[in-house]
Chains A and B, each alone.
Chain A
Amino acid sequence: MDIAGILTFLVYFLVTTGIYGLLTMGLNVQWGYAGLLNIGVAGFYAAGAYASVYLTHGVGFGGNTIGLGLPFPLALAGAMAVAALVALLLGGPSLGLDKGYLAITLLGFGELARLVAANEAWLTNGTMGFSGVYKLLGSTFRGLSYQFFFFLLVAVVVLVCYLVIYRAHRSPWGRALRAIREDEAAAMMQGKDTFRFKLEAFVLGAALMGGAGSLYAHYVGFINPSSFTSEHTFLIWIMLIVGGSGNDLGALLGTIAIWGFYVGSNFLLDLVPAHLTARLGGIRIMVITALFIFMLIKRPEGLLREKKWVSAVFKG
């Protein structure tokens, strides 16, 4: 590989890490802060990606019947809003319930989202998905410079989101969430509207996931239902658990570690004969899941443990 190739690859890695980092941070808000078991991450990710396509493209793109043709920043915000709205609709009825019910609702949602995307051709172009999705300033920047440009864009979005949730985590709002996570009944006794707090965390996390979906769609330029399977959900989970749930930096670290392994093993895939590639892909997932279960048993707090934190005034 020549220098330009290596650079392109490196920037590609950083951009995708940033997108996965957003997803992991979103899950950290839901699970790390609030203890909400979301096993439908891919559904919110997909909602953001598809919403962004409808928002930036006009009617008729890829055969879809809705389209608004808005500029990208509005589409990014819109994708976050759509994912947040979906979270509101799903979280409203299910967040007050036992964890097992929340899990199955979101599990079902993730699958249903994929089914709708695969089958409602008038809306989503079916399993073909959308290709040639609008690339932001794609005429100004080409090739490597586009990669660099998108990297900067993702870096800014990740940084802004990181600062927002970092502050949120250290605010009284974040403190209340941790109290709910540790002992909901006790938090309720303190007069906290625990349902409302949980719903807010759920919606905020989903918004980040929707944003990641939007960035993904416009970076890769191609989305279809197989980009949003339960394996993606699981990958986000393992990034968070390995990195350290409840720790925002840990979420990013876990993303880099797992995504690095995942992408790095692609080089290994290139070395083996083609008929073995699919099998090696399966082995890769097995290694990652085994690591995940090992972490759950041996080190559930992850690489970076959650910092004990009460407030800026009272040092815990």
Chain B
Amino acid sequence: MQYLVNGIVVGCIIVLGSTGFTILYALLGFPNLAYGEIMLLGAYVTLTINSLGVPVYAALLLAAPVTCVAAVGVDRLVFKRLRQANLSTLIMASFGISLFLRSLIRVVWGTGVHLFAMGPTPQFTLPIGAVITIPQVFIVAYSVLAVALLFLFRKKTRLGKATRAVADNRTLARVAGIDTERIVLWNLVIAGVLAVSGGVFLGIDSSLNPLQGWRLLLPVYAATIFGRVGSMYGALCGGLLLGLAQELSAIYLSTEYKPGIALLAIIVTIFIRFRLLRKG
């Protein structure tokens, strides 16, 4: 039961990452391998603000704009110049940025492990016999709220509808008079907020070190392709399932292999998807 609770918490963190990741993937047409590092960068900025004596949740609010600026800045500096480039170039560029940001984190914050200053964390026992901490409750509640807002945004607002239109067919959206760059900008901001939340929650749930962004990318990416790229439901279900699978795997496997579960999920997904496609 404890694994179940942990799995849901980890799943929520992955969902925060994969929803942002899938929005950008669908909108810009490539998987941004630097997304894990953007999540981590947000967490580290939060860490610095936190170390000045600001409570971690308030620090998260302050770090969110910084992360959004970083996400938009990277896009302006690099990806905007490569909008017409082919898929492979974009993936490689994002690979480069991922390593750049990871090194930046190493240079600024060092290679050690960091923890947020949180004070005592009260915890209580659920009726099913598992222990859950108050921050974990907050993570789950926040994620539910964030995903709900995201769904509403995409279904109900003009901007959300325009986003889906651009993701569907950029040329057609532009012909219809949608300012695609403005849509990209807003979605980078949304993805930035999701990223910083996921990154900070990862730090709250475990700890921070410079390699974590890259490690986080694998389950985030896997959750994204588990559904269809661009599908919110897919990212949501994929993220939760992966979180559960990763934690439950700890019963049988060495915990070091958690990222391996993500890889397994990817391979199974690809295999099933393409077998079905070939038949259908």
Contact = CB atoms under 8 A, between A and B. Distances in A.
B266 interface: yes
Given A97-B274, A101-B270, A282-B106, A35 B88 contact: yes
A37 B91 contact: yes
A94 B270 contact: yes
Contacts of B254: 119
B103 A283 contact: yes
Contacts, number: 118
Interface residues on chain B, size class: 35 or more
B57 interface: no
A108 B270 contact: no
Contacts of B270: 93-94, 97, 101, 105
Contact of B82 (A99, A108, A297): A297
B96 A234 contact: yes
A118 B215 CA distance: 15
A8 interface: no
A37 B92 contact: yes
Given A93-B271, A107-B218, A296 B266 contact: no
Contact of B89 (A97, A238, A300): A300
Interface stretch (B153-161, B165-173, B201-209, B255-263): B255-263
Nearest to A283: B107
A103 interface: yes
A241 interface: yes
Contact of B106 (A35, A104, A278): A278
Contact of B92 (A96, A230, A237, A285): A237
Contacts of B3: none
B103 A286 contact: yes
Interface in A226-284: 230-231, 234, 237-238, 241, 278-279, 281-283
A285 B257 contact: no
Contacts of B130: none
Interface residues of A, number: 42
B44 to A, nearest CB: 13
B110 to A, nearest CB: 7
A165 B136 CA distance: 55
A286 B104 contact: yes
Nearest to B214: A230
Contacts of B95: 39, 234, 237
Contacts of A109: 263
Interface string A90-123: 0001101101110111011101100100110000
A100 B106 contact: no
Nearest to B259: A111
Nearest to A297: B81
B256 A118 contact: yes
A96 B274 contact: yes
Dominant SS among interface residues on chain A: helix
Contacts of B99: 230-231, 234, 285, 289
A115 B259 contact: yes
Contact of A115 (B85, B107, B110, B260): B260
Given A100-B87, A112-B263, A241-B92, A279 B31 contact: no
A289 B102 CA distance: 11
A234 B37 CA distance: 15
B30 interface: yes
A10 interface: no
Nearest to B267: A105
A112 B261 CA distance: 10
B188 interface: no
Contacts of A159: none
Q: Among the interface residues B87, B100, B254, which one has the most CB atoms of the partner chain A within 10 A?
A: B100
Contacts of A278: 106, 110-111
Given A93-B267, A93-B271, A290-B100, A103 B91 contact: yes
Nearest to A37: B88
B97 interface: yes
B225 interface: yes
Contacts of B262: 108
Nearest to A114: B259
Nearest to B210: A282
A293 interface: yes
Contacts of A292: 96
Contacts of A290: 100
Contacts of B110: 278-279
Contacts of A101: 225, 266, 270
Interface in B186-219: 214-215, 218
20 contacts: A100-B229, A104-B225, A107-B221, A108-B222, A108-B262, A109-B263, A115-B257, A115-B260, A230-B214, A234-B95, A238-B96, A279-B106, A279-B107, A279-B110, A282-B104, A285-B99, A289-B97, A289-B99, A297-B93, A300-B89
Interface of A: 31, 35, 37, 39, 93-94, 96-97, 99-101, 103-105, 107-109, 111-112, 115, 118-119, 230-231, 234, 237-238, 241, 278-279, 281-283, 285-286, 289-290, 292-293, 296-297, 300
Given A31-B88, A37-B91, A234-B95, 20 more contacts: A35-B88, A39-B33, A93-B271, A97-B274, A100-B30, A100-B91, A103-B91, A104-B221, A108-B218, A111-B263, A112-B260, A230-B99, A282-B107, A286-B100, A289-B103, A296-B82, A296-B85, A296-B89, A296-B93, A297-B81
User: Can you list the 5 inter-chain pairs with the closest CB atoms, starting with the nearest?
Assistant: A108-B263, A282-B107, A285-B103, A289-B100, A282-B106
